[in-house]
Each structure stands twice: as structure tokens, then as C-alpha cells.
A and B are shown apart, each in its own frame.
Chain A
Amino acid sequence: MNHSADVVIAGGGIVGAACAYECARAGLSVTVIEGAIIGGGASAAGMGHIVVMDDSEAQFNLTLLSQQLWSERVAEMTDGVEHLPCGTLWVAADEEEMAEVRRKRAFYSQRGVPVEMLDSRQLAEAEPHLRPDLAGGLLVPGDSVVYPPVAARWLLDRCGARVLTGVPIATLDDNGATLEDGSRVSGGVIVNALGAKAARLMPSIPVTPRKGHLVITDRYPGFLRHQLVELGYLKSAHSAGADSIAFNVQPRRTGQVLIGSSRQFGADHKGIDQPILSRMLRRAAEYMPRIGSLIAIRAWTGFRAATPDHLPLIGPMPGASRLWLATGHEGLGVTTALATGRLIADQITGRSSPIDAAPYLPARCIHG
């Protein structure tokens, strides 16, 4: 059976769903092709955080725009999206990390993002289960978490895109996609939103899988109030090439606690890496001694779509006339999904965008 649409989106994760949503809202007809289950890849495997980040000006602009778009959407989304406006609390272990807290405070404040600096005592009051000798932290109250598979489903249901699920894509080209059952979906514009698998069909895309581990607990309402991230995170986790773990825990609206995180390159098997899992859980227990006694009900892994410069690839594929990319979001796919969709829809329709799209254009690292 063959279909055609103005826009064909390969991949029904949160990014593909957001692209479909924005394109459909711009008046385009959209078909989404998902080989497995909507929101079932990195969207399901990740933490589902919506965080404003400050690694670079470009990352900040994209995450802030996307957070604004999320806050417009979540109010109308179904309950199953499990939106929890818990904020992020960046935790400083020592004076050196407090310097980072002050730098972050200045960065966010200068750009109009409300933040609050906490000293050691205020941190202990904000999160009583943290170990007592920590130096302080920075609270970013506007951050939140969602459950991405249901959010992706909602975006697709709401925008009325045609959704084809269950048959993977065999090839992508300038005119459309051929599925593994031989059927053909053609479109005016083809968007590769396949996440960590984006390079399988287009090998010149510099996206590599970066493996992560997570553990979720039974329900402990009130145990955790904010998403917590250690400030060693930036130093350790982004040092490309080395395996790393960091203390990153998150309350879910169910009362469950999500325990992360790990980052590995070159690990392509889906199984749990026990040494990494052990390090990750021990790190969490160093910050929150009680966390080891919480009942863990599930551990799993997933693959982030990493790019060399840690910025996503959003825009036309160099050397191709109608192929576009929306991938490479690494650990920020949920946060930046809605802004990605907006930029893609703006570029396809020739509209102007709320932010400068240049830093995310694939042409910066792909030469056609």
C-alpha cells in the first residue's frame, strides 16, 4: 500500500512526533513512519526531563524555547503524560562546585531564567535525604519532567498525522521511504528523526549511540522533591570517549524514583553492564544514603543520539534536495523536541523562527 504526504517523518519518537505536530499545525499533511512503537526508543528509555541547559549559548536558546513550548502544551495534555513541575536542583559537593553554582546563577539570571542559590542548610531542607555535608546548590524551578511515550502519542493523536507503525523503514531517499514490506511512502519533504538509528539509513550523518542505564523504584511519595543533578556531571559526563556515571535522580509523578545516570560510547549491546550499573548506584548512594534501601523494580538501558559537538542536527541534509534531519539530541531529546519541531516546520514553510536556527544546521558538520 502506498501513501504520500507533504512531509514524511521517519521515526515516531518524541522528536518525530513533535516535528509532525508542528508541521501539521503549519497546515502541511504529515505521515509518520514508526517501525516499532510510538515513543518506544530513547523516548521511553530516557528520563523525560525538560531542563534549561547552559553548556553553550546555542544549547541554552534551544532548551529555553522548547521549555516555553512545553509549558504551553502540558496543560492540555492527558493525565498520562505525568507532567511534574519539580524543578532541577544542581547539587554542589564542595566549594569548587559552589563556584560553578555561582557561575550558573549569573548565566541564568542574566538571561531572565529564575534561579535560587541554596546554601548547605537550605539544600538539606529542600532535600532531606541528601547527605548532610554538601556545600549547596542551584534550584532552577522552571524545569519539569514528563513521561515521553504518552506525550509522543498525544502529539500525534492531536495533530491528526497519519501514523504507520510496525513496519521498519528499509531505505530513505529524496522522495520518500521504502518500508521493509516493500510499500512506499512518498513526500515533498522527508525528515529523518530516527534518533540513534538515524545513521543506519544515512551513514554520512555523524550520530553515534551513547548508551545509558537507568533504574526505577517502587512508589515512595515525598522521598524526593526535585530532580537532582550533581555538578561533577559537566566535568565527567561530557568528556567524550570515556565511560562515565553521575548522580542524577528524579521524582516521578507516580511517587517512583528514577535513578541515573551513565554514559558510554562504543557499547552497542542492549544488556546491562554490571560494572557501570554498580558504579551508578553507588554514586547515587554516596549522595543519598537511603536510596540503597528503596525497592528497585526495573533496570534498563537505552541509546542517546550523540553528535560530535553535542548539538542536534536540525535542518536540510547537505547534498540532498528534500531530505531533512531532526536527530542528534543526545540526552536532551525530550527537552528540545518541541523547539526542534518548530524549527523544522518554520524552515519547511519559510516562516521565521523565534531563535537563530544556524547553530543546529547539519551543514556545520556534514558536507554534501
Chain B
Amino acid sequence: MSAPAIVVVGAGPAGVAAACRAAGCGRRVVLLDDNPAPGGQIWRGDRQQRWLARLADSGVEVRCGTTVSGLELPGATTILATGARELFLPFPGWTSPGVTGAGGLQALIKSGFSIAGKRVVVAGSGLLLPAVASLVRKSGGSVVLIAEQTSAMNMAAFAAALLSRPEKLAQSAEAALSLLGVPYFTRCVVESFDGGRVRLRRGNAIFECDTDYLASGFGLVPNTELAALLGCRLLAGAVEVDEFQQTTVAGVYAAGELTGIGGVEKSLVEGEIAGLAAAGAVDEARALFGRSRRARRFSAALNRAFALDGGLRALPRDETLVCRCEDVSHSRLKGLASWRQAKLHTRCGMGPCQGRVCAAAAQFLYGWNDQSPRPPVFPVPAGLLADPGSFEGEPT
């Protein structure tokens, strides 16, 4: 008799690593993802990725274009690797066409959007910003500037935490960027976007520039909705796990960004541990604990370096929309007591994105922490809710 399949939800680095390691233990593994192809955001469109090559040879059953309802456990043993999404903060003009996320623009370019010949301002916070700028240039676009909200000092401290000679690194990073001819401004924030004109504040100075696209993102937030619906306990916005990546629900593991934002190395090692642990290879999993702890230290340093400045709360004007699905403005929300009150009395968060964009923004702007997601995890045809065991995608 063969053991039941291990179901992995999410085919980014953590999910792919988990699926490969579990399959390597001889277990049948089903890997589900909402996107058209495996790879998650970081490996989107990357045909050279060695983990994806490994996945292709692993015997893992990959089902893309598949939505999980969240109404029942996807498998007796489930590994959640649902990743993270971008944190968007509202500013005047952020709903205009021409404004995308930073990771958003990256994903669109990797999905076939031709940025060649276009000007782009990259703004927000985090290591993603230079990565996006680099992709834009590589794809034939020009980067007007990078506006990073954190200070140069915070970034230097981050480098110091990781390397013995941080000044050198900072200098070389700056040099690399300036060689590309891209101004990289710290303590710099987009105040508004209006018809291709971006208004920025750098320290106390205000200046403007023209652009075709503004790519703005303020870091990442874990996609905890499915974990929360399945009853996993959350801690500070991330899924709580033990060293084996086991959540507080028996048989449910979590790996990668949803246990805390930390980048691809953290995702890979956590995915490997979760895959091994779920398949019962406890000793092999334990051998990876050292790598996992190092990845978490990196993650903590990263999050300190790019901590959001409280001044960003002053960006939205009264009429600036916070909820883009239901068009609910800042003025209607700022006096309310809770996220649930905002939902019930203004429709904020009640649209098809189910609050994925505005809830994280509202948490930052207003301090609301009472989010409790409703099923389904993602909008699905009503007929599928009647039969949540069915899969939408075809095995690849």
C-alpha cells in the first residue's frame, strides 16, 4: 500500500524545493499553483533555473492554473508555500494606469510585457528596487531613478551585518548603479503621480520628473490567507512554525516567505526541510537547521534595514483611494475603529481582491490587526466551491 500523496501548495522556490525533496524520499507529491507555470515570482519565465529542471525530473505531479478553496485540507499531509505579495501603499495617483508595483512590473516584464524604449521610475523600498531597475535596463527600458524610502545609514548597517567590509560593498553597489547611469536616492519618496509626472520628496527637497511608468512597492507581506483558513496560528503576520516547518495544525507544514519575509535562500532551505520532514526524513531535515538559522538571521537584518518610515502614513490625501476594488477613500476610513468595521460600513476590502491590497495598507496606515480571511482563498467559479476536491488545472 502506498502512502497518500503529499500536497504542496505554491510552486515558488519553497514549494519546488519541498516537492523535490519529498519526491526524492520516494513519496508521491502533487504540486499545485495558481499561476500558469511553476517558478513563483522569482523564477517566472526563467528557463535556466536548476531547481525547475530538477522539478521536471522529480516525478512530482505539477498542476498549474489550480486554485485551492481553503474549505478543506488539500491533503492529509500538506506543505504550504504560498509565498508573499507586494506591499502597496497609497499615494495620490497610485490608481492611475502607468503605476504598477515594483515586483509587479518585474512580473509583467517576465510575463512578456515589452518595456523597451520606455522610461521607468522605481520607488518604494527594499532589495527588489535595484533588481527591477536592472531588469528594466536589460529589457531595453530606461530607469529615470530609484527612490528608496530608507536611509543610507540603515542600508549600510544591513551590509555591515552581513559582510566584513560593508563600506566596500556599498561603494561597489553604488558604483555599479552609477555606471548604469541610474540615480539611487535614499530617503526619497514618491508624493504623487499625475499623467506621467512624478513628484518626489528627498529629505526636505521636492522635485519632479517625467516617466512612462512608475513601479512602486514597499516590500513584501506573507500570503497567510490559506494557512489562516486551515486554522494555522499566525505570529506577527506570518505563519508560526517549529524547526521542522510544522505549523500548529497537525500534518500542515509551511515554508518560505509566508513564515517571514527572507528571500530565496530562506525559502529554499525551509522548503527542503518541510519536504524532508513531511516525508519522514527527520535526520536529513535536521542537518539543514544550521542553514535555516543563518537564512533567518539574514532575513531579520533585511527587515530592519528596510523598515518603513512612519512618515509614509502621511502620503494619502483625503480623496486618495485605499480600497481599489470598491473605491473607498482614505477620508472614509481614517476615523474607524477596526478592519471589520471598515468592511461592514464602507465595503473596504469586500471586492474580488478580498482585501489583499488594501488590508496590508490599512494595517500600516491605521494600525488595524483584526483581519480574518473568508473562503475561498481566491475567487473561483461558484460551481467549484460546490466541489472543492476538483482541480481546475491539467497535470503537466
The B328-374 residues at the A interface (CB cut-off 8 A) are 337-338, 340-341, 344-347, 350-352, 354, 374
Q: Given that A37-B340, A292-B386 are known contacts, is A153 also in contact with B345, CB under 8 Å in the complex?
A: yes
The B359-396 residues at the A interface (CB cut-off 8 A) are 374-376, 379-388
- Contact indicator A281/B381 (Cβ below 8 Å): no
Q: Given that A149-B345, A272-B375, A297-B351 are known contacts, is A37 also in contact with B382, CB under 8 Å in the complex?
A: no
- Contact indicator A299/B380 (Cβ below 8 Å): no
Q: Residues of A contacting B338 with CB < 8 Å?
A: 37
Q: Given that A295-B380, A296-B381, A296-B385 are known contacts, is A149 also in contact with B344, CB under 8 Å in the complex?
A: yes
- Contact indicator B344/A37 (Cβ below 8 Å): yes
Set B337, B354, B387: member contacting A165, Cβ < 8 A: B337
**A169 CB, min distance to chain B CBs, angstroms:** 18
Q: Given that A150-B345, A153-B345 are known contacts, is A296 also in contact with B340, CB under 8 Å in the complex?
A: no
Judged by a CB distance under 8 angstroms, whether B72 is at the interface is: yes
**B134 CB, min distance to chain A CBs, angstroms:** 37
Set A166, A278, A295: member contacting B379, Cβ < 8 A: A295
Q: Residues of B contacting A217 with CB < 8 Å?
A: 382
The residue on A at minimum CB distance from B341 is A37
Q: Given that A215-B382, A272-B71, A292-B381 are known contacts, is A297 also in contact with B387, CB under 8 Å in the complex?
A: no
- Contact indicator A39/B344 (Cβ below 8 Å): yes
Set A80, A165, A291, A299: member contacting B376, Cβ < 8 A: A299
- Contact indicator A40/B340 (Cβ below 8 Å): yes
Greatest chain B CB density within 10 A among A40, A259, A285 is at A40
- Contact indicator A294/B71 (Cβ below 8 Å): no
- Complex: how many Å from CA A215 to CA B376? 10
Q: Residues of B contacting A2 with CB < 8 Å?
A: none
Set B337, B340, B379, B388: member contacting A297, Cβ < 8 A: B379
Q: Residues of A contacting B384 with CB < 8 Å?
A: 292
The residue on B at minimum CB distance from A217 is B382
The residue on B at minimum CB distance from A82 is B347
The A111-153 residues at the B interface (CB cut-off 8 A) are 149-150, 153
Q: Residues of A contacting B351 with CB < 8 Å?
A: 297
- Complex: how many Å from CA A77 to CA B384? 37
Judged by a CB distance under 8 angstroms, whether A293 is at the interface is: yes
- Contact indicator A296/B374 (Cβ below 8 Å): no
Set B381, B383, B385: member contacting A299, Cβ < 8 A: B385
Q: Residues of A contacting B350 with CB < 8 Å?
A: 298
Q: Residues of B contacting A37 with CB < 8 Å?
A: 337-338, 340-341, 344-345
Set B337, B374, B381: member contacting A300, Cβ < 8 A: B374
Q: Residues of A contacting B352 with CB < 8 Å?
A: 218, 295, 297
- Contact indicator B382/A291 (Cβ below 8 Å): yes
- Contact indicator B354/A298 (Cβ below 8 Å): yes
Q: Residues of B contacting A166 with CB < 8 Å?
A: 337
Set B341, B380, B386: member contacting A277, Cβ < 8 A: B386
**A217 CB, min distance to chain B CBs, angstroms:** 6
- Contact indicator B344/A293 (Cβ below 8 Å): no
Judged by a CB distance under 8 angstroms, whether A322 is at the interface is: no
* Mask of A151-167 contacts with B, CB within 8 angstroms, 1/0: 00100000000000110
Q: Given that A37-B344, A39-B344 are known contacts, is A296 also in contact with B379, CB under 8 Å in the complex?
A: yes
Set A40, A278, A299: member contacting B374, Cβ < 8 A: A299
Q: Residues of B contacting A274 with CB < 8 Å?
A: 71-72, 388
- Complex: how many Å from CA A281 to CA B71? 14
**A27 CB, min distance to chain B CBs, angstroms:** 28
Judged by a CB distance under 8 angstroms, whether A44 is at the interface is: yes
Q: Residues of B contacting A310 with CB < 8 Å?
A: none
**A67 CB, min distance to chain B CBs, angstroms:** 24
* Mask of B184-206 contacts with A, CB within 8 angstroms, 1/0: 00000000000000000000000
**B226 CB, min distance to chain A CBs, angstroms:** 14
- Contact indicator A294/B381 (Cβ below 8 Å): yes
Q: Residues of B contacting A299 with CB < 8 Å?
A: 71, 374-376, 385
The A15-66 residues at the B interface (CB cut-off 8 A) are 36-40, 44
Q: Residues of B contacting A215 with CB < 8 Å?
A: 382, 385
- Contact indicator B344/A285 (Cβ below 8 Å): no
Judged by a CB distance under 8 angstroms, whether A282 is at the interface is: yes
Q: Given that A150-B345, A274-B72, A298-B354 are known contacts, is A292 also in contact with B383, CB under 8 Å in the complex?
A: yes
The residue on B at minimum CB distance from A300 is B374
The A264-279 residues at the B interface (CB cut-off 8 A) are 272, 274, 277-278
- Contact indicator A277/B385 (Cβ below 8 Å): yes
Set A278, A295, A298: member contacting B381, Cβ < 8 A: A295
**A100 CB, min distance to chain B CBs, angstroms:** 27
The residue on B at minimum CB distance from A288 is B382
19 new A-B contacts, CB < 8 A, other than A281-B385, A293-B383, A297-B379, are: A40-B341, A80-B345, A166-B337, A218-B352, A259-B382, A277-B385, A281-B383, A281-B386, A285-B383, A291-B383, A292-B384, A294-B382, A295-B352, A295-B380, A296-B376, A298-B350, A298-B376, A299-B374, A300-B374
Q: List the 6 closest pairs (A to B, CB-CB), nearest first.
A: A292-B383, A281-B386, A149-B344, A296-B382, A297-B379, A278-B386
Using a CB–CB cutoff of 8 Å, the interface residues on chain B facing chain A are: 71-72, 337-338, 340-341, 344-347, 350-352, 354, 374-376, 379-388
Q: Supply 28 A–B pairs (Cβ within 8 Å), ascending by A.
A: A37-B340, A37-B341, A37-B345, A40-B344, A80-B345, A149-B344, A165-B337, A166-B337, A218-B352, A218-B379, A259-B382, A284-B382, A285-B386, A291-B382, A292-B381, A292-B384, A292-B386, A294-B381, A296-B380, A296-B381, A296-B385, A297-B354, A297-B376, A298-B350, A298-B354, A298-B375, A299-B374, A299-B385
